[in-house]
Chains A and B, each alone.
Chain A
Amino acid sequence: MTLTSESARLGHRDLPRLMALMTGDEKHGPAATSTLDVLWVLYDRVLRVTPETADAPDRDRFLLSKGHGPMAYYAVLAAKGFLDPALLSGFGGFDSPLGYHPDRVLVPGVEISSGSLGHGLPLGVGTALGLRAQGLTDSRVWVLTGDAELDEGSNQEAAAYAGAVGLEALHTVVVDNSSATHGRRGGIAARFAAEGWSVLTADGRDHEALAEAFTAPHPGRPHAVVAVVEPKH
Protein backbone atom coordinates (compact mmCIF):
# COMPACT_ATOMS: atom_id res chain seq x y z
CA MET A 1 0.00 0.00 0.00
CA THR A 2 1.47 3.32 -1.02
CA LEU A 3 0.12 6.47 0.48
CA THR A 4 2.33 9.33 -0.57
CA SER A 5 2.17 12.72 1.00
CA GLU A 6 1.44 14.07 -2.46
CA SER A 7 -1.56 11.85 -3.12
CA ALA A 8 -3.12 12.69 0.24
CA ARG A 9 -3.50 16.23 -1.03
CA LEU A 10 -4.87 15.47 -4.46
CA GLY A 11 -8.37 16.50 -5.44
CA HIS A 12 -10.78 16.42 -8.35
CA ARG A 13 -8.88 19.18 -10.13
CA ASP A 14 -5.79 16.95 -10.29
CA LEU A 15 -7.52 14.09 -12.10
CA PRO A 16 -6.95 15.38 -15.66
CA ARG A 17 -3.23 15.68 -14.95
CA LEU A 18 -3.11 12.17 -13.50
CA MET A 19 -5.06 10.77 -16.44
CA ALA A 20 -2.73 12.48 -18.88
CA LEU A 21 0.12 10.38 -17.46
CA MET A 22 -1.57 7.33 -18.98
CA THR A 23 -1.21 7.12 -22.73
CA GLY A 24 -1.78 4.48 -25.37
CA ASP A 25 -5.42 3.55 -24.75
CA GLU A 26 -7.00 6.51 -26.49
CA LYS A 27 -9.48 4.14 -28.18
CA HIS A 28 -11.13 3.88 -24.78
CA GLY A 29 -10.82 7.60 -24.00
CA PRO A 30 -14.55 8.33 -24.12
CA ALA A 31 -15.25 5.33 -21.88
CA ALA A 32 -12.67 6.57 -19.41
CA THR A 33 -13.87 10.14 -19.13
CA SER A 34 -17.54 9.17 -18.92
CA THR A 35 -16.93 7.63 -15.51
CA LEU A 36 -14.68 10.31 -14.05
CA ASP A 37 -17.17 12.31 -12.00
CA VAL A 38 -19.10 9.26 -10.84
CA LEU A 39 -15.88 7.65 -9.61
CA TRP A 40 -14.76 10.81 -7.87
CA VAL A 41 -18.02 11.35 -6.01
CA LEU A 42 -18.14 7.71 -4.93
CA TYR A 43 -14.60 7.65 -3.59
CA ASP A 44 -14.72 11.19 -2.19
CA ARG A 45 -18.11 11.14 -0.52
CA VAL A 46 -19.77 7.72 -0.45
CA LEU A 47 -17.49 4.71 -0.13
CA ARG A 48 -16.26 3.85 3.35
CA VAL A 49 -12.89 2.52 2.29
CA THR A 50 -9.39 3.99 2.48
CA PRO A 51 -5.95 2.63 1.68
CA GLU A 52 -5.69 1.68 5.36
CA THR A 53 -8.95 -0.28 5.31
CA ALA A 54 -8.55 -1.77 1.82
CA ASP A 55 -8.46 -5.29 3.31
CA ALA A 56 -10.89 -4.76 6.20
CA PRO A 57 -13.72 -7.32 6.11
CA ASP A 58 -16.36 -4.64 6.74
CA ARG A 59 -15.19 -2.12 4.15
CA ASP A 60 -17.46 -0.91 1.40
CA ARG A 61 -16.66 -2.56 -1.93
CA PHE A 62 -16.43 -0.80 -5.28
CA LEU A 63 -16.50 -3.11 -8.31
CA LEU A 64 -15.61 -1.59 -11.67
CA SER A 65 -17.57 -3.84 -14.01
CA LYS A 66 -17.05 -1.72 -17.09
CA GLY A 67 -13.35 -2.45 -16.99
CA HIS A 68 -12.33 -0.85 -20.27
CA GLY A 69 -11.00 2.68 -20.16
CA PRO A 70 -9.79 2.44 -16.54
CA MET A 71 -7.71 5.63 -16.67
CA ALA A 72 -10.21 7.59 -14.59
CA TYR A 73 -10.36 4.73 -12.10
CA TYR A 74 -6.59 4.55 -11.72
CA ALA A 75 -6.42 8.34 -11.45
CA VAL A 76 -8.99 8.37 -8.64
CA LEU A 77 -7.24 5.49 -6.85
CA ALA A 78 -3.98 7.42 -7.12
CA ALA A 79 -5.57 10.65 -5.90
CA LYS A 80 -7.04 8.80 -2.92
CA GLY A 81 -3.74 7.14 -2.03
CA PHE A 82 -4.49 3.55 -3.05
CA LEU A 83 -1.67 3.54 -5.56
CA ASP A 84 1.44 5.58 -6.19
CA PRO A 85 0.86 8.25 -8.87
CA ALA A 86 4.32 7.41 -10.19
CA LEU A 87 2.91 4.11 -11.46
CA LEU A 88 0.50 5.81 -13.83
CA SER A 89 3.03 6.54 -16.56
CA GLY A 90 3.76 2.81 -16.90
CA PHE A 91 0.14 2.19 -17.95
CA GLY A 92 -0.09 -0.94 -20.11
CA GLY A 93 3.58 -1.82 -19.81
CA PHE A 94 4.95 -5.28 -19.15
CA ASP A 95 6.26 -4.31 -15.73
CA SER A 96 3.27 -2.17 -14.78
CA PRO A 97 0.41 -3.40 -12.58
CA LEU A 98 -1.91 -1.08 -14.52
CA GLY A 99 -3.42 -2.72 -17.58
CA TYR A 100 -6.09 -1.58 -20.00
CA HIS A 101 -8.37 -3.75 -17.91
CA PRO A 102 -7.74 -3.79 -14.15
CA ASP A 103 -6.47 -6.84 -12.27
CA ARG A 104 -7.35 -7.10 -8.59
CA VAL A 105 -4.33 -9.27 -7.92
CA LEU A 106 -1.99 -6.54 -9.19
CA VAL A 107 -3.55 -3.30 -7.93
CA PRO A 108 -4.21 -2.52 -4.27
CA GLY A 109 -7.77 -1.36 -3.74
CA VAL A 110 -9.10 -2.94 -6.93
CA GLU A 111 -11.86 -5.32 -5.81
CA ILE A 112 -12.40 -7.28 -9.04
CA SER A 113 -10.52 -8.01 -12.21
CA SER A 114 -12.73 -6.93 -15.07
CA GLY A 115 -12.70 -6.40 -18.82
CA SER A 116 -15.19 -8.94 -20.13
CA LEU A 117 -18.52 -7.19 -19.73
CA GLY A 118 -21.32 -8.49 -17.57
CA HIS A 119 -19.33 -9.92 -14.66
CA GLY A 120 -19.31 -7.09 -12.12
CA LEU A 121 -22.97 -7.01 -11.16
CA PRO A 122 -23.18 -10.80 -10.67
CA LEU A 123 -19.96 -10.73 -8.63
CA GLY A 124 -21.45 -7.85 -6.67
CA VAL A 125 -24.51 -9.96 -5.88
CA GLY A 126 -22.25 -12.69 -4.49
CA THR A 127 -20.21 -10.15 -2.54
CA ALA A 128 -23.33 -8.64 -0.97
CA LEU A 129 -24.62 -12.12 -0.09
CA GLY A 130 -21.27 -13.07 1.43
CA LEU A 131 -21.22 -9.95 3.59
CA ARG A 132 -24.78 -10.62 4.73
CA ALA A 133 -24.00 -14.25 5.60
CA GLN A 134 -21.19 -13.04 7.85
CA GLY A 135 -23.30 -10.42 9.59
CA LEU A 136 -21.45 -7.52 7.96
CA THR A 137 -24.70 -5.70 7.33
CA ASP A 138 -23.25 -2.18 7.36
CA SER A 139 -21.02 -2.83 4.35
CA ARG A 140 -22.25 -1.71 0.96
CA VAL A 141 -21.37 -2.94 -2.48
CA TRP A 142 -21.22 -0.56 -5.44
CA VAL A 143 -20.89 -1.78 -9.02
CA LEU A 144 -20.18 0.59 -11.88
CA THR A 145 -21.75 -0.59 -15.11
CA GLY A 146 -22.37 1.05 -18.47
CA ASP A 147 -25.56 1.38 -20.49
CA ALA A 148 -24.19 -0.76 -23.33
CA GLU A 149 -22.87 -3.31 -20.88
CA LEU A 150 -26.45 -4.01 -19.85
CA ASP A 151 -26.80 -5.77 -23.22
CA GLU A 152 -25.02 -8.71 -21.57
CA GLY A 153 -27.63 -11.19 -20.35
CA SER A 154 -25.71 -12.00 -17.19
CA ASN A 155 -26.68 -8.56 -15.88
CA GLN A 156 -30.31 -9.48 -16.29
CA GLU A 157 -29.76 -12.60 -14.18
CA ALA A 158 -28.14 -10.50 -11.47
CA ALA A 159 -30.66 -7.64 -11.53
CA ALA A 160 -33.66 -9.96 -11.42
CA TYR A 161 -32.33 -12.05 -8.56
CA ALA A 162 -31.11 -9.10 -6.49
CA GLY A 163 -34.48 -7.43 -6.86
CA ALA A 164 -36.37 -10.58 -5.99
CA VAL A 165 -34.47 -11.16 -2.76
CA GLY A 166 -34.30 -7.47 -1.81
CA LEU A 167 -30.52 -7.29 -1.65
CA GLU A 168 -30.29 -3.90 0.04
CA ALA A 169 -26.49 -3.82 0.29
CA LEU A 170 -26.17 -3.93 -3.51
CA HIS A 171 -25.89 -0.73 -5.53
CA THR A 172 -25.15 -0.08 -9.15
CA VAL A 173 -24.40 3.14 -10.94
CA VAL A 174 -25.08 2.83 -14.65
CA VAL A 175 -23.01 5.37 -16.53
CA ASP A 176 -25.30 6.11 -19.45
CA ASN A 177 -23.46 7.58 -22.41
CA SER A 178 -26.04 6.28 -24.90
CA SER A 179 -23.63 3.77 -26.32
CA ALA A 180 -25.87 0.67 -26.50
CA THR A 181 -26.15 -0.22 -30.19
CA HIS A 182 -29.86 -0.93 -30.07
CA GLY A 183 -30.77 1.37 -27.21
CA ARG A 184 -33.07 0.10 -24.49
CA ARG A 185 -36.85 0.11 -24.92
CA GLY A 186 -38.48 1.71 -21.94
CA GLY A 187 -35.19 3.06 -20.62
CA ILE A 188 -32.64 1.80 -18.13
CA ALA A 189 -34.40 3.05 -15.01
CA ALA A 190 -37.64 1.26 -15.89
CA ARG A 191 -35.76 -1.97 -16.35
CA PHE A 192 -34.34 -1.91 -12.83
CA ALA A 193 -37.60 -0.62 -11.35
CA ALA A 194 -39.48 -3.52 -12.91
CA GLU A 195 -37.15 -5.90 -11.07
CA GLY A 196 -37.95 -4.27 -7.74
CA TRP A 197 -34.95 -1.97 -7.44
CA SER A 198 -34.97 1.53 -6.05
CA VAL A 199 -33.89 3.76 -8.98
CA LEU A 200 -32.82 7.36 -9.35
CA THR A 201 -31.52 9.21 -12.38
CA ALA A 202 -28.94 11.97 -12.08
CA ASP A 203 -26.72 14.19 -14.18
CA GLY A 204 -23.47 12.21 -14.35
CA ARG A 205 -21.41 15.41 -14.23
CA ASP A 206 -23.22 17.08 -11.31
CA HIS A 207 -21.43 16.12 -8.12
CA GLU A 208 -24.19 17.32 -5.81
CA ALA A 209 -26.87 15.48 -7.75
CA LEU A 210 -24.79 12.31 -7.86
CA ALA A 211 -24.04 12.39 -4.14
CA GLU A 212 -27.70 12.88 -3.38
CA ALA A 213 -28.74 9.98 -5.62
CA PHE A 214 -25.99 7.73 -4.26
CA THR A 215 -26.98 8.27 -0.62
CA ALA A 216 -30.77 8.13 -0.96
CA PRO A 217 -32.31 5.56 1.43
CA HIS A 218 -33.68 2.37 -0.17
CA PRO A 219 -34.82 0.06 2.62
CA GLY A 220 -35.26 -3.57 1.61
CA ARG A 221 -34.27 -3.01 -2.02
CA PRO A 222 -31.11 -2.79 -4.09
CA HIS A 223 -30.43 0.66 -5.47
CA ALA A 224 -29.58 1.76 -9.01
CA VAL A 225 -28.47 5.22 -10.08
CA VAL A 226 -28.54 6.05 -13.77
CA ALA A 227 -25.82 8.65 -14.26
CA VAL A 228 -26.45 10.35 -17.58
CA VAL A 229 -23.45 11.83 -19.38
CA GLU A 230 -22.89 13.17 -22.88
CA PRO A 231 -23.48 10.59 -25.64
CA LYS A 232 -20.41 8.68 -26.76
CA HIS A 233 -21.09 9.37 -30.46
Chain B
Amino acid sequence: MPTMRDRFAAVTTRLLDEDPRLALVLADISADRFTAAAAAHPDRVLNVGIREQLMVSVAGGLALTGLRPVVHTFASFLVERAFEQVKLDLDHQDAAAVLVSALGSYDWPEGGRTHQAPGDVALMDTLSGWTVHVPGHPDEAEVLLRDAVASDDRVYVRLSAQQNAAARPVAPGRFTPVRQGSAGTVVAVGPMLDAVLAAVEGLDVSVLYAATVRPFDGAALRAATEGAADVVLVEPYLAGTSVPFAAQALEDRPHRLLGLGVARAELRRYGTMADHLAAHGLDPRSLRARISGFLPLPV
Protein backbone atom coordinates (compact mmCIF):
# COMPACT_ATOMS: atom_id res chain seq x y z
CA MET B 1 0.00 0.00 0.00
CA PRO B 2 1.44 3.42 -0.93
CA THR B 3 2.29 5.41 2.17
CA MET B 4 1.91 9.04 3.11
CA ARG B 5 5.65 9.36 2.75
CA ASP B 6 5.40 8.10 -0.84
CA ARG B 7 2.72 10.67 -1.54
CA PHE B 8 4.78 13.42 0.07
CA ALA B 9 7.66 12.68 -2.32
CA ALA B 10 5.39 12.63 -5.38
CA VAL B 11 3.48 15.79 -4.48
CA THR B 12 6.54 17.75 -3.41
CA THR B 13 8.29 16.83 -6.65
CA ARG B 14 5.33 18.23 -8.60
CA LEU B 15 5.12 21.35 -6.45
CA LEU B 16 8.82 22.03 -7.01
CA ASP B 17 8.08 22.12 -10.75
CA GLU B 18 5.12 24.44 -10.28
CA ASP B 19 6.32 26.87 -7.62
CA PRO B 20 9.70 28.62 -8.07
CA ARG B 21 9.47 29.82 -4.48
CA LEU B 22 9.50 26.30 -3.05
CA ALA B 23 12.70 24.67 -1.76
CA LEU B 24 13.25 21.25 -0.18
CA VAL B 25 15.92 20.64 2.45
CA LEU B 26 16.96 17.11 3.34
CA ALA B 27 19.53 15.44 5.56
CA ASP B 28 20.08 12.25 3.52
CA ILE B 29 16.83 10.62 4.71
CA SER B 30 14.48 10.20 1.72
CA ALA B 31 17.04 11.77 -0.64
CA ASP B 32 16.69 8.70 -2.86
CA ARG B 33 13.06 9.68 -3.42
CA PHE B 34 14.04 13.07 -4.78
CA THR B 35 16.82 12.30 -7.26
CA ALA B 36 14.75 13.46 -10.24
CA ALA B 37 13.64 16.62 -8.42
CA ALA B 38 17.24 17.36 -7.45
CA ALA B 39 18.36 16.95 -11.05
CA ALA B 40 15.60 19.29 -12.25
CA HIS B 41 16.08 21.88 -9.49
CA PRO B 42 19.62 21.61 -8.14
CA ASP B 43 19.41 25.01 -6.42
CA ARG B 44 16.13 24.24 -4.66
CA VAL B 45 16.54 20.59 -3.67
CA LEU B 46 19.26 20.69 -1.05
CA ASN B 47 20.59 17.62 0.69
CA VAL B 48 23.02 18.80 3.37
CA GLY B 49 24.16 15.32 4.41
CA ILE B 50 23.63 13.90 7.88
CA ARG B 51 23.43 17.35 9.45
CA GLU B 52 20.00 17.95 10.95
CA GLN B 53 20.90 21.15 12.78
CA LEU B 54 22.17 22.61 9.52
CA MET B 55 19.09 21.34 7.67
CA VAL B 56 16.75 23.40 9.84
CA SER B 57 19.04 26.45 9.94
CA VAL B 58 19.35 26.36 6.15
CA ALA B 59 15.56 26.42 5.97
CA GLY B 60 15.62 29.51 8.18
CA GLY B 61 18.14 31.19 5.89
CA LEU B 62 16.19 30.27 2.76
CA ALA B 63 13.03 31.70 4.30
CA LEU B 64 14.83 34.94 5.15
CA THR B 65 15.53 35.40 1.44
CA GLY B 66 11.87 34.86 0.56
CA LEU B 67 11.74 31.16 -0.32
CA ARG B 68 9.23 28.64 1.09
CA PRO B 69 11.26 25.75 2.53
CA VAL B 70 9.99 22.24 3.13
CA VAL B 71 12.19 20.31 5.55
CA HIS B 72 12.01 16.57 5.93
CA THR B 73 13.48 13.73 7.93
CA PHE B 74 12.34 11.37 10.68
CA ALA B 75 10.45 13.04 13.53
CA SER B 76 13.11 12.20 16.07
CA PHE B 77 15.77 14.07 14.11
CA LEU B 78 13.59 16.85 12.72
CA VAL B 79 11.85 18.02 15.87
CA GLU B 80 13.86 16.60 18.75
CA ARG B 81 17.46 16.69 17.61
CA ALA B 82 17.20 20.08 15.92
CA PHE B 83 14.72 21.63 18.32
CA GLU B 84 16.75 24.72 19.16
CA GLN B 85 17.12 25.39 15.45
CA VAL B 86 13.33 25.12 15.08
CA LYS B 87 12.86 27.49 18.00
CA LEU B 88 15.54 30.04 17.09
CA ASP B 89 16.23 29.77 13.35
CA LEU B 90 12.55 29.67 12.40
CA ASP B 91 10.36 31.10 15.18
CA HIS B 92 12.75 33.64 16.67
CA GLN B 93 13.82 34.87 13.21
CA ASP B 94 10.14 35.35 12.38
CA ALA B 95 10.79 32.91 9.53
CA ALA B 96 8.57 30.05 8.46
CA ALA B 97 8.90 26.59 6.97
CA VAL B 98 6.94 23.40 6.46
CA LEU B 99 8.41 20.58 8.51
CA VAL B 100 7.40 17.14 7.27
CA SER B 101 8.31 14.17 9.41
CA ALA B 102 8.15 10.42 8.96
CA LEU B 103 8.22 7.43 11.35
CA GLY B 104 6.25 9.11 14.13
CA SER B 105 5.92 7.23 17.40
CA TYR B 106 6.08 3.53 16.56
CA ASP B 107 6.37 3.13 12.78
CA TRP B 108 9.63 1.23 12.94
CA PRO B 109 9.59 -0.74 16.21
CA GLU B 110 12.50 -2.92 15.13
CA GLY B 111 14.57 0.27 15.07
CA GLY B 112 14.02 0.96 18.75
CA ARG B 113 13.83 4.15 20.78
CA THR B 114 16.28 6.20 18.69
CA HIS B 115 13.77 6.29 15.82
CA GLN B 116 10.65 6.92 17.89
CA ALA B 117 9.40 10.43 18.64
CA PRO B 118 6.12 10.21 20.57
CA GLY B 119 6.95 13.56 22.18
CA ASP B 120 7.21 15.59 18.98
CA VAL B 121 3.79 17.25 19.09
CA ALA B 122 4.14 18.02 22.80
CA LEU B 123 7.52 19.60 22.07
CA MET B 124 6.07 21.71 19.27
CA ASP B 125 3.40 22.82 21.75
CA THR B 126 6.12 24.68 23.67
CA LEU B 127 6.31 27.05 20.69
CA SER B 128 3.57 29.33 19.45
CA GLY B 129 1.85 29.73 16.12
CA TRP B 130 2.59 26.31 14.65
CA THR B 131 -0.05 24.48 12.66
CA VAL B 132 0.20 20.72 13.23
CA HIS B 133 -1.33 18.30 10.74
CA VAL B 134 -1.60 14.58 11.50
CA PRO B 135 -3.14 13.06 8.36
CA GLY B 136 -4.51 9.53 8.44
CA HIS B 137 -4.31 8.70 4.75
CA PRO B 138 -2.13 9.65 1.74
CA ASP B 139 -5.01 11.61 0.17
CA GLU B 140 -5.37 13.67 3.32
CA ALA B 141 -1.61 14.14 3.48
CA GLU B 142 -1.68 15.59 -0.01
CA VAL B 143 -4.49 18.04 0.80
CA LEU B 144 -2.78 19.20 3.99
CA LEU B 145 0.68 19.39 2.41
CA ARG B 146 -0.57 21.49 -0.49
CA ASP B 147 -2.38 23.77 1.94
CA ALA B 148 0.76 24.09 4.06
CA VAL B 149 3.02 24.91 1.14
CA ALA B 150 0.59 27.52 -0.20
CA SER B 151 0.49 29.35 3.14
CA ASP B 152 3.20 31.42 4.78
CA ASP B 153 2.67 29.76 8.16
CA ARG B 154 4.89 27.58 10.26
CA VAL B 155 3.49 24.10 9.70
CA TYR B 156 4.43 20.67 11.02
CA VAL B 157 3.08 17.75 8.99
CA ARG B 158 3.41 14.45 10.83
CA LEU B 159 3.35 11.51 8.43
CA SER B 160 3.02 7.93 9.60
CA ALA B 161 3.17 4.49 8.05
CA GLN B 162 0.00 3.76 10.00
CA GLN B 163 -3.02 4.80 7.97
CA ASN B 164 -6.77 4.38 7.75
CA ALA B 165 -8.36 2.26 5.01
CA ALA B 166 -10.17 5.21 3.48
CA ALA B 167 -9.48 8.93 3.31
CA ARG B 168 -11.87 11.38 4.91
CA PRO B 169 -12.70 14.76 3.43
CA VAL B 170 -10.49 17.06 5.49
CA ALA B 171 -10.60 20.83 5.77
CA PRO B 172 -7.30 22.09 7.17
CA GLY B 173 -7.77 23.16 10.77
CA ARG B 174 -11.21 21.56 11.22
CA PHE B 175 -12.39 18.46 13.02
CA THR B 176 -14.88 16.37 11.04
CA PRO B 177 -17.91 14.68 12.66
CA VAL B 178 -17.83 11.00 11.75
CA ARG B 179 -20.67 9.59 13.79
CA GLN B 180 -23.20 10.83 16.35
CA GLY B 181 -23.98 9.42 19.77
CA SER B 182 -25.24 10.65 23.11
CA ALA B 183 -22.99 9.17 25.79
CA GLY B 184 -19.82 11.11 25.01
CA THR B 185 -17.37 12.08 22.32
CA VAL B 186 -14.22 10.39 21.10
CA VAL B 187 -11.73 12.52 19.17
CA ALA B 188 -9.66 10.30 16.89
CA VAL B 189 -6.46 11.87 15.59
CA GLY B 190 -5.20 10.92 12.13
CA PRO B 191 -4.16 7.27 11.86
CA MET B 192 -6.12 6.35 15.01
CA LEU B 193 -9.51 6.67 13.31
CA ASP B 194 -10.00 3.11 12.06
CA ALA B 195 -9.04 1.64 15.43
CA VAL B 196 -11.39 4.06 17.21
CA LEU B 197 -14.31 3.26 14.90
CA ALA B 198 -13.76 -0.45 15.43
CA ALA B 199 -13.53 0.11 19.18
CA VAL B 200 -16.81 2.03 19.48
CA GLU B 201 -18.87 -0.20 17.21
CA GLY B 202 -22.34 -0.53 18.74
CA LEU B 203 -21.62 2.09 21.42
CA ASP B 204 -23.75 5.25 21.63
CA VAL B 205 -20.87 7.75 21.27
CA SER B 206 -19.92 10.54 18.88
CA VAL B 207 -16.66 10.41 16.99
CA LEU B 208 -14.82 13.48 15.74
CA TYR B 209 -11.95 13.09 13.32
CA ALA B 210 -8.94 15.39 13.64
CA ALA B 211 -6.35 15.51 10.87
CA THR B 212 -5.22 18.91 12.13
CA VAL B 213 -4.56 19.18 15.89
CA ARG B 214 -3.08 22.70 16.04
CA PRO B 215 -4.91 24.92 15.99
CA PHE B 216 -7.19 22.73 18.06
CA ASP B 217 -10.75 22.94 16.73
CA GLY B 218 -12.38 23.76 20.05
CA ALA B 219 -15.57 24.96 18.34
CA ALA B 220 -16.12 21.53 16.80
CA LEU B 221 -15.52 19.87 20.15
CA ARG B 222 -18.00 22.23 21.85
CA ALA B 223 -20.58 21.55 19.14
CA ALA B 224 -20.14 17.79 19.51
CA THR B 225 -20.36 17.86 23.30
CA GLU B 226 -23.44 19.99 23.84
CA GLY B 227 -25.24 17.08 25.43
CA ALA B 228 -22.45 15.39 27.30
CA ALA B 229 -19.02 16.87 27.88
CA ASP B 230 -17.35 13.53 28.45
CA VAL B 231 -14.46 13.38 26.03
CA VAL B 232 -11.84 10.81 25.10
CA LEU B 233 -8.86 11.91 23.00
CA VAL B 234 -7.05 9.18 21.08
CA GLU B 235 -3.72 10.40 19.71
CA PRO B 236 -0.91 8.52 17.95
CA TYR B 237 1.74 10.27 20.07
CA LEU B 238 2.24 11.00 23.76
CA ALA B 239 -0.97 10.34 25.69
CA GLY B 240 -2.69 13.51 26.85
CA THR B 241 -0.87 15.88 24.50
CA SER B 242 -4.11 17.63 23.47
CA VAL B 243 -5.85 17.41 26.85
CA PRO B 244 -5.01 21.02 27.84
CA PHE B 245 -6.43 22.26 24.54
CA ALA B 246 -9.65 20.29 24.99
CA ALA B 247 -9.91 21.53 28.57
CA GLN B 248 -9.56 25.10 27.38
CA ALA B 249 -12.31 24.58 24.79
CA LEU B 250 -14.63 23.27 27.51
CA GLU B 251 -13.50 25.52 30.36
CA ASP B 252 -16.92 27.09 30.92
CA ARG B 253 -18.82 23.84 31.28
CA PRO B 254 -18.46 20.75 33.43
CA HIS B 255 -16.47 18.13 31.57
CA ARG B 256 -14.44 15.00 31.95
CA LEU B 257 -11.40 14.23 29.78
CA LEU B 258 -9.43 11.06 29.13
CA GLY B 259 -6.27 11.29 27.04
CA LEU B 260 -5.16 8.09 25.35
CA GLY B 261 -2.01 7.68 23.33
CA VAL B 262 1.57 6.52 23.54
CA ALA B 263 2.88 5.87 27.03
CA ARG B 264 5.59 8.12 28.44
CA ALA B 265 7.67 5.22 29.75
CA GLU B 266 10.12 3.77 27.26
CA LEU B 267 8.79 0.43 26.06
CA ARG B 268 12.25 -1.00 25.32
CA ARG B 269 10.81 -3.66 23.03
CA TYR B 270 11.22 -4.29 19.29
CA GLY B 271 8.60 -6.27 17.34
CA THR B 272 5.89 -4.92 15.06
CA MET B 273 3.69 -1.84 14.94
CA ALA B 274 0.76 -4.02 16.01
CA ASP B 275 2.78 -5.15 19.04
CA HIS B 276 3.45 -1.54 20.00
CA LEU B 277 -0.12 -0.38 19.46
CA ALA B 278 -1.31 -3.17 21.75
CA ALA B 279 1.36 -2.36 24.33
CA HIS B 280 0.21 1.26 24.41
CA GLY B 281 -3.45 0.21 24.60
CA LEU B 282 -4.20 1.65 21.17
CA ASP B 283 -5.57 -1.50 19.53
CA PRO B 284 -9.39 -1.66 19.09
CA ARG B 285 -9.92 -4.08 21.97
CA SER B 286 -7.95 -2.05 24.48
CA LEU B 287 -9.50 1.18 23.25
CA ARG B 288 -13.01 -0.24 23.64
CA ALA B 289 -12.27 -1.21 27.22
CA ARG B 290 -10.78 2.20 28.08
CA ILE B 291 -13.52 4.18 26.30
CA SER B 292 -16.48 2.19 27.64
CA GLY B 293 -14.96 2.29 31.14
CA PHE B 294 -14.74 6.09 31.04
CA LEU B 295 -17.87 7.21 29.23
CA PRO B 296 -21.26 6.98 31.01
CA LEU B 297 -22.64 4.26 28.80
CA PRO B 298 -25.81 2.35 29.70
CA VAL B 299 -24.86 -1.02 31.18
A residues sitting closer than 8 Å to B (CB atoms) are 57, 103-105, 111-113, 116, 119, 122-134, 136, 153-154, 157-158, 160-161, 164
> With A133-B23, A161-B48 in contact, is A122–B62 under 8 Å at CB?
no
Nearest CB in chain B: distance from A72 CB, A: 22
Given contacts A130-B67, A134-B66, A161-B48, contact A125 B57 (CB under 8 A): yes
**Cβ-based interface call for B17 (8 A):** no
Q: Is the CB of B58 within 8 A of A126?
A: yes
Least distance between A53 CB and chain B CB atoms (Å):
15
Whether A157 lies near B84 (C-beta < 8 A) is no
Chain B positions 11-27 with a Cβ under 8 Å from a chain A Cβ = 23
Q: What total of chain B residues lie within 8 Å of the partner, measured CB to CB? A: 27
Q: Given A112-B93, A122-B57, is A129 in contact with B43 using a C-beta cutoff of 8 Å? A: yes
Set of chain A residues within 8 Å of B63, measured between Cβ atoms = 126, 130
Q: Are B85 and A112 in contact (CB under 8 A)?
A: no
Q: Is the interface of B mostly helix, strand, loop or mixed?
A: helix
Task: Give the interface of B toward A (CB within 8 A).
Answer: 23, 43-44, 46, 48-49, 51, 53-54, 57-67, 84-85, 88-89, 92-94
Interface secondary structure of A, over-half rule: helix
User: Chain A residue with minimal CB distance to B27?
Assistant: A157
Can you give 26 A-B contacts (C-beta < 8 A)?
Answer: A103-B92, A112-B93, A113-B92, A116-B88, A119-B85, A122-B57, A122-B89, A123-B89, A124-B61, A125-B58, A126-B59, A126-B60, A126-B64, A126-B65, A129-B58, A129-B61, A129-B62, A130-B62, A130-B65, A132-B43, A133-B67, A134-B66, A136-B65, A154-B53, A157-B54, A161-B48
Cα A127 to Cα B93 in complex, Å, equals 12
Whether the pair A119, B89 counts as a contact (CB closer than 8 A) is yes
Residues of B within 8 A of A111 (CB): 64
Pair A154/B62 contact, Cβ less than 8 Å: no
Complex contact B54–A131 (CB within 8 A)? no
Beta-carbon contact of A113 and B88 below 8 Å: yes
CB within 8 Å for A123 and B64 given contacts A157-B54, A161-B49 = yes
Q: Are B60 and A123 in contact (CB under 8 A)?
A: yes
B62: A residues at CB distance < 8 A: 126-127, 129-130, 133
Give Cα distance in the complex from A119 to B58, angstroms.
Answer: 10
Determine which of B48, B59, B66, B92 lies in contact with A57 in the assembled complex, contact meaning CB atoms within 8 Å.
B66
- Contact residues in B for A129 (Cβ distance below 8 Å): 23, 43, 46, 58, 61-62
Given A158-B57, A161-B51, output 8 extra A-B contacts at Cβ < 8 Å.
A119-B57, A119-B89, A122-B53, A123-B93, A127-B61, A130-B66, A136-B65, A153-B53
